[in-house]
Amino acid sequence: MNMSSPSLERLMQRLDILQARYGYTLLDSDSFAAYVAAPGACLILFADDPAKVPETWDLTVILPEAVTRLDTAVRVGVLAPQAARALAARYGICIWPALLAMRDGEYLGTVEGLKDWSAYGRLLPELLAAAPCRPQASASRCTTPAQAPIVTECH
């Protein structure tokens, strides 16, 4: 039995399944801005190559269950690794995988890295209820990833 991490090709297949089964939107650098600017709340999965960051695969499994438990309507978009890397610095994302929360085009915060399964039940509602703010600059935060917060919120 092969215990290695899923490949990038398998991740892309998994993202297609998320789109077909749950209605998630596969985004790229061109479609991202319009998607997050649309009215309402959205969560964006910033995925990385699971061969480099195996937790990305885990979050693709956890996310649908966590979203179904939310009491509020939320759109979910998914960025494949290349697009996610291109957009990460804009939102101060340093640790992969990450979830970005936005409402009506405004930044609410992020959850970086894979968290304990039960944590998403608390973190996602908190983020989606947060007041809009500005993302923290990634240059200052990304120098010490071991100290990165679970949730990046406004200050």
Pick from 120, 5, 111, 104: nearest CA to 54? 5
First to last CA, the chain: 48
pLDDT for residue 109:
95
Confidence of residue 6 (pLDDT cuts 50, 70, 90): confident
Residues 25-53 pLDDT 10s: 999 999 999 999 999 999 999 999 999 99
Kindly report the average pLDDT of the chain as a whole number.
88
Pick from 44, 119, 146: nearest CA to 88? 44
Pick from 127, 132, 42: nearest CA to 78? 42
User: What's this model's pTM, rounded to 2 decimal places?
Assistant: 0.87
pLDDT for residue 90:
93
Residues 71-81 pLDDT 10s: 999 999 999 99
Q: State which amino acid sits at residue 51.
A: A
Cis peptide before 125 (omega within 30 of 0): no
Top-tier CATH class for 8-131: alpha beta
pLDDT above 70: percentage of residues in the chain: 85
In terms of pLDDT, which residue wins out, 143 or 117?
117
Confidence of residue 3 (pLDDT cuts 50, 70, 90): low
Confidence of residue 136 (pLDDT cuts 50, 70, 90): confident
Which residue(s) pair with 46 in the sheet?
A: 79, 98
Q: What is the DSSP string of the chain?
A: ---SPPPHHHHHHHHHHHHHHH-PEEE-TTTHHHHHHSSSEEEEEE---TTT-THHHHHHHHHHHHHHT-SS--EEEEE-HHHHHHHHGGGT--SSSEEEEEETTEEEEEEES---TTHHHHHHHHHHHSPP-PPPPHHHHTT-GGG--SEE---
User: Does the pLDDT at position 60 exceed 60?
Assistant: yes
